[in-house]
Amino acid sequence: MASPRSEAPEIKIPDVLKRKRTLSFEFYPPRTREGLPAVFRSIHRLKGFKPDFVSVTYGAGGATQRFTEEIVTSIERETDLLPMAHLTCVGQTREEIRGVLERLEGAGVENVIALRGDPPRGQAEFAPAPGGFSHATELIGYIRANFGFSIAAACYPEGHTESRDLDADIEHTKLKLEMGAEFLITQLFYDNDYFYSFLDRARRAGIRAPILAGILPILNREQIRRFAALCGATIPPALDARLEALGDDRDAVRELGIETATLQVRELLDGGVDGVHFYALNRSYSISKILSNLGGGRVQDRGAAPGE
Ligand code: FAD
C-alpha cells in the first residue's frame, strides 16, 4: 500500500529541522500483543497536533523489540506520520542489529535514534552481547557506514549517570555526532537551567547539531521520583515539595505536571529551542492539555520565538 505521506517531500528529520522547530512524541512498545491497540489509540489521539515525527522506544529484549519494528512499520505504512525507530545495543549481536536495520529499511523507515541502552533489569552494569556494540558511538558508526538512515542520538543535560564528569560527557556526545548522528534529543529534565548550561557547554565544544528538549509531564509522584533517580535528573526541591504536599491525589499530581510542563516548554520556546520531544508514555491527556495551553501550533511556529 502506498504511504499516505507519499506527497510529503521530507522523509528525513534533519531536513525538517533545517526548516523549522519540531514537535515530536515518543511511545513505547507493549509487553504483549494485547497491548498494541492501546499504543495505536494513543498515537491516533496525539496525531491531531501534527507532530513532525513520532518515535517508538526499543525494549531490553524479546517480543517488545519486534513490537517496536511492528509499530514503526505500521506508522510508516498506514498513517501520514513520520516515524523514528529507537535501536539499542542491548543483547544483540551485530548480525541481529543488521537484521533489524534491513527490515526497517525494507519497510521504508528512514529515521532511527541509536542508543546503547540500559543494562537489563537485575544487571548492574552494561555488558555488550558477544559480537555486539559497547557504545552508541559504535552503533552510530555502523549504521552510518552501512545504511542511509538519518541518525539521532541521546544527550544528557545533567550528564549521563556513568559519565566521569561533564567534560567527558560532552566529549562522548560530540563523538556521537562525529560518528554520524545528525541531531540530539535530551534526557528528561525539570529545571531549564540544566538544559541551558548543557547547551552552552555543547556549543562551546563545537556541537552545532540541533538539540531537541525531552519533556516528560509528571503523571505520578512515585513514578517520576523513580524515573528521575534512574536517569540522574533532578526534581527541583520546590517542585518536589509541591508533589509531596499533594500526597496520593493522582489527579492533582497530573494537573501539577501539566502546569509545570506548560511553563517549562513556554520558556524553552521563548529561548528558541530547536524542538520539543514529549515522552508521551502512551498517554495523551496531559500533552493535549499542555499543547492547548501553549496555543495551537506554538511549538512548531519558529517565527513566534523571540531571540532568533
Ligand atoms: P552511550 O553513548 O554509550 O553512553 C553511555 C555512557 O558511556 C556515558 O556515560 C558516556 O559518557 C559513555 N561513553 C559514550 N561513548 C563512549 C566511548 N566511545 N567510550 C567510553 N565511554 C563512552 N533506552 C532504551 O533501552 N531504549 C530506548 O528506546 C531508549 N531511548 C532513549 C531515548 C532518549 C532520547 C534518551 C535520552 C535515552 C533513551 N534510552 C533508551 C536510555 C539510554 O539507552 C540510556 O540513557 C543509556 O544508559 C545510555 O545510552 P547512550 O546511547 O547515551 O549510550
Q: How far is the CA of 116 from the centre of ligand 1 (A)?
A: 5
For 216-250, the pLDDT digits (tens) are 999 999 999 999 999 999 999 999 999 999 999 99
Residues in contact with ligand 1 (CB, 6 Å cut-off):
57-58, 86, 88, 113, 115-118, 135-137, 154, 160, 162-163, 168-169, 172, 175, 185, 187, 214
Number of domains present in the structure of the chain: 1
Decide if 298 contacts 304 (C-beta within 8 A).
yes
Residue 236 lies in a domain: yes
Output the pLDDT for position 297: 76
26: annotated active-site residue: yes
Q: Residue 307 — very low, low, confident or very high, per pLDDT cuts 50/70/90?
A: very low
Residue 205 is given by DSSP the state T
CATH code of the domain covering residue 84: 3.20.20.220
Q: Radius of gyration over alpha carbons of the chain, in Å?
A: 19
Catalytic residue among 26, 69, 158, 182: 26
Least Cα distance to 190 among 82, 267, 77 occurs for 267
pTM equals 0.95
Report CA(281)–ligand 1 centroid distance (Å). 19
Q: How much is the pLDDT for 119? A: 84
Does residue 282 lie in a domain region? Answer: yes
Atom from ligand 1 closest to the CA of residue 57? 28
Specify the residue with its C-alpha closest to ligand 1, atom 30: 57
* pLDDT tens-digit series, residues 114-141: 999 988 878 888 989 899 999 999 999 9
Q: Are 15 and 183 in contact (CB under 8 A)?
A: no
Residue type, 77: R
Whole-angstrom Cα distance, residue 62 to residue 67?
A: 9
CB–CB of 233/189 below 8 Å?
yes
Q: What spacing in Å lies between the alpha carbon of 4 and ligand 1's midpoint?
A: 34
Residue whose CA is at the smallest distance from ligand 1 atom 2: 136
For residues 280-299, average pLDDT: 93
pLDDT at 302: 63
In a domain, 178, yes or no: yes
Query: Has residue 138 been placed in a domain?
Result: yes
Residue 3 lies in a domain: no
pLDDT for the residue 304: 43
What is the distance in A from the centroid of ligand 1 to the CA of 266?
Answer: 28
> Domain containing 217: what range?
13-290
305 domain-assigned: no
- The answer to whether residue 8 is domain-embedded is no
The alpha carbon of residue 120 and the mean position of all alpha carbons in its chain are separated, in whole angstroms, by 19
The mean pLDDT of 282-290, rounded to a whole number, is: 97
Atom 29 (ligand 1): residue with closest C-alpha? 57
What pLDDT sits at residue 3?
52
The DSSP symbol for 32 reads S
